[in-house]
Chain A
Amino acid sequence: MIRIDHISKRFKKLQVLDNISVVFEKGQVISLIGPNGSGKTTLIKSILGMVKPNTGKIFVNEQIIDNDPGYRKIIGYMPQIGRYPDNMKIGQLFSMLKQIRKTETSQTDEELIKKFELEKIFEKPMRTLSGGTRQKVSAAIAFLFDPAILILDEPTAGLDPLASEILKEKIIAEKKKNKLILITSHILSDLDEITTHVMYMQEGKMQFIKDMGTLQEETGELRLGKAIARIMKGDIINSEWIDKMFEPKNDEKIY
């Protein structure tokens, strides 16, 4: 569904993406992981056309990404930070998006709007919302048009456990519909139940992409976090980051 062909991106002196080639297929749930500044978000933005790679090509559904924005019709995107015009009301945001996509309410997937109970606050202006509520709005937008590809940048960051669980269930449901789901996250343990593939990035390079089965086989670990830790064991520089990543959070279930 998405084919990334030797893309590189350089911001001034910093090489953010270094010759990355990868293919994502439908039905896959890819966890894109790596330390801060490893190029995860840049990769996502490249797929969305927000960042223009210096070299290389990206194909979505065998169609090259150029200036035609039409390919984005099948992509739902949830950004890391969602900020919206201060005085716009939530309801207006949704109706605006529907108008832009020329989609009727009957054709949209409003499950998240309902489950997050956003309808109750449709009349509230955006500036009054908390960070968590804004994340809920962002998530609801990403799933609104029932897109074939979902790109979620740190989806559970800032969400309360309940909302986080609702979102996870939604992702699982979408996974069953044979969609391609691309997720970046720091909190790995959130992802391992739903992840089919792990793509690990560091300093702009793709270190590996492996399906969970292979990963578990190679490492003998069932948990994603442990599995990666095993892989990275030799790497002293990054071990600290990985350790930190696997510290269980208070609200986390320990398997």
Chain B
Amino acid sequence: MLKLSRYVLYDILRSKIVIAYTIFLFVVSLSMFQMEDNSSKAMLSLLNIVLIVLPLVSLVFTTIHYYNSYEFIELMSSQPMSRTRILLSEYAGVAISLLSAFFIGVGIPVLLFAPNEIGFALLFSGVSLTLVFTSIAFYAAVVARDKARGIGFALLLWFYFALIYDSLVLLILFSFSDYPLEKITLLLSALNPIDLGRIFIMLKMDISALMGYTGALYKDFFGSGTGILFTTGIMLLWIILPLWLAVRKFRKKDL
């Protein structure tokens, strides 16, 4: 499997989009650390990059890449290679290249300027979200029939996770404000990887204090081994599930 992904990776790492993305992340991260006098404020700005830009780029880039590689994927599937292997190789290639962009663009500045718990939480969320949204994008691309639909679907998913979902959460919080909502909000956060990543970082930033009793509860939970395991587990689920669905669909698909 690694043979194919090595070449896919080689191809993507040379693509102008990935190079531009890396430079963009690097310049933004660096200038944030330079501009803000303390690193925690820069981290807040980086948080927005990680939560909004990362999923968007992962989704759109992956979808475009899939359609641009369509003929190549066809050619590969005429070779003695299973469909599963082809798709997973493509996934590995795309994911590793996006991760390298993230590591160079955000990882290095964070390790230089804020090598603390918050920094690592940010990197953890960034890595998870990249993998999750690459996975989701593969599903969107495999399901959709053509490029326009695929990109449209990917953008729609991004809108949903970045924007619509939180509005729905807000709606639920207000509709059921008379009930104890601690457990439910926890569950709700798990159903959106962006929220999960955000809360994971926010609790490291000690936002929990603002939330009173509930915050303490969350902090205890996410700070504990179980919480880290929970976050990692849910993130893994978010990576594996769409990818598995994509592979399942791809195996039956007519190319």
Contacts and interface: CB of A to CB of B under 8 A. Distances in A.
A86 to B, nearest CB: 7
A88 B7 contact: yes
Contacts of B75: 77, 79, 82, 84, 138, 141
- Secondary structure type dominating chain A contacts: mixed
Contacts of B251: 67
A69 B82 contact: yes
Nearest to A84: B72
B254 interface: yes
Contact of A85 (B69, B253, B255): B69
A31 B4 CA distance: 33
Interface in A67-107: 67-73, 75, 77, 79, 81-88, 92-93, 96-97, 99-101
Contact of B15 (A70, A86, A99, A141): A86
A132 to B, nearest CB: 16
Nearest to B255: A50
Given A87-B15, A96-B4, A50 B77 contact: yes
A45 interface: yes
A52 B76 CA distance: 16
A86 B78 contact: no
Contacts of B78: 48, 50, 72, 75, 77, 79
B3 A72 contact: no
Interface residues of A, number: 36
Contacts of A84: 71-72, 75
A153 to B, nearest CB: 10
Contact of B74 (A79, A92, A100): A79
A171 B75 CA distance: 20
Interface-centre pick from B14, B75, B77, B255 (highest chain A CB count, 10 A): B75
A70 B79 contact: no
Interface in A40-78: 45, 48-52, 67-73, 75, 77
A69 B4 contact: no
Contact of A45 (B3, B8, B255): B255
Contacts of B76: 100
28 contacts: A45-B254, A45-B255, A49-B77, A50-B74, A51-B255, A52-B254, A67-B83, A69-B81, A69-B83, A73-B80, A77-B78, A79-B71, A79-B74, A82-B71, A83-B68, A83-B71, A83-B72, A85-B12, A85-B69, A86-B11, A86-B15, A87-B10, A87-B11, A87-B12, A87-B14, A88-B10, A96-B7, A125-B14
Given A83-B72, A100-B81, A125-B14, 15 more contacts: A50-B77, A51-B255, A67-B83, A68-B82, A69-B79, A70-B80, A81-B71, A85-B69, A86-B11, A86-B15, A87-B14, A88-B7, A99-B3, A100-B76, A138-B75
The 4 A-B pairs with the shortest beta carbon distances in the complex, nearest first, are A87-B14, A85-B11, A83-B71, A77-B78
